[in-house]
């Protein structure tokens, strides 16, 4: 009798242990364990070498990387005036670019060259800036090619500093386009810097969704809901 009750005690204890344990909550096999349990990789894992080289953990862009919306660098040196002369804008400029160019001109150039581009901006007119800014609608600069004006923005000229740091590639061409436009209205050659069929479009941002799509989409969604209620 004692033997049986001991066995009974053992099994009942075993039953309690098993039923209270986590065992039953864990189902058997995991299907595709490599997908269920992802292999976590710490950030900065494997960058020790990069840190040793750069003194920083951050991975640097590959040399020669060009930011989105930026043109390929033209590598025209300051004294390479022949190459500068034939350099042309590689962007598809639109009306919007022209408007942006006008704004940027007023911010960065107008103070010296004047809002009429006659070289008589407020800074020079007030006597605070001694050097006479070029008259952009004068005979000499009227004959400048777009590339030459661009060159002046990138490298500056004598007392005029470079504006390459303030204006990115596209913005420089926007300013050039605005100057060329005003020049064309003041005896310069015809203005041709906008791409054809570009009127009213803004090539800087993604194309806007079509008007029709916008108007139709909510209608089809709303109707079934109302019927259910
Ligand atoms: C601080 C005043 C100042 C500002 C701002 C300025 N310029 Fe000038 N700019 C000058 C002066 C001064 C000259 C004349 C340099 C010379 O011929 O000695 C000049 C010359 C020029 C020329 C003729 C270059 C040449 O090769 O003869 C162009 C084109 C020009 N500027 C465009 C611009 C544009 C575009 C901007 C705006 C991004 C600008 N400038 C901003 C002062 C300025």
How many domains does one find in the chain? 1
Ligand 1: residue whose CA is nearest its atom 37: 109
The per-residue pLDDT for range 20-55, each reduced to its tens digit, is: 766 556 667 888 888 888 777 777 777 777 777 767
114 found inside a domain: yes
**135: CA distance to ligand 1 center in Å?**
9
Range of the domain at 154: 81-184
**60: CA distance to ligand 1 center in Å?**
35
The per-residue pLDDT for range 118-173, each reduced to its tens digit, is: 999 999 999 999 899 999 999 999 999 999 999 999 999 999 999 999 999 999 99
The ligand 1 atom at the shortest distance from the C-alpha of residue 124 is 2
**59: CA distance to ligand 1 center in Å?**
39
User: CATH number of the domain that 142 lies in?
Assistant: 1.10.760.10
Burial class (CB in 10 A: 0-12, 13-18, 19+), 211: exposed
166 found inside a domain: yes
- Return the pLDDT at 60: 72
Please indicate whether residue 110 or residue 12 has the higher confidence score (pLDDT). Answer: 110
């Amino acid at each position: 009798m004692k033997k049986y009750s001991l066995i009974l005690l053992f099994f009942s204890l075993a039953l309690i242990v098993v039923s209270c344990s986590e065992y039953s909550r864990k189902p058997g096999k995991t299907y595709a364990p490599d997908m269920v349990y992802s292999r976590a990789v710490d950030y900065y894992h494997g960058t020790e070498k990069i840190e040793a080289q750069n003194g920083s953990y951050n991975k640097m862009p590959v040399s020669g990387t060009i930011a989105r919306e930026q043109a390929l660098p033209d590598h025209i040196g300051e004294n390479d005036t022949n190459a500068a002369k034939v350099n042309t804008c590689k962007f598809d400029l639109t009306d919007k670019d022209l408007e942006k160019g006008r704004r940027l001109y007023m911010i960065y150039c107008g103070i010296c060259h004047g809002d009429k581009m006659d070289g008589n901006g407020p800074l020079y007119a007030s006597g605070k800036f001694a050097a006479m800014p070029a008259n952009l609608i004068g005979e000499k600069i009227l004959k400048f090619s777009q590339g030459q004006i661009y060159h002046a923005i990138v490298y500056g000229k004598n007392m005029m500093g470079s504006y390459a740091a303030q204006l990115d590639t596209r913005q420089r061409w926007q300013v050039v386009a605005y100057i060329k436009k005003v020049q064309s209205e003041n005896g310069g050659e015809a203005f041709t810097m906008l791409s054809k069929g570009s009127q009213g479009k803004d090539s800087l941002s993604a194309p806007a969704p079509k008007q029709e799509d916008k108007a139709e989409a909510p209608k089809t969604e709303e109707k079934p809901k109302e019927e259910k209620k």
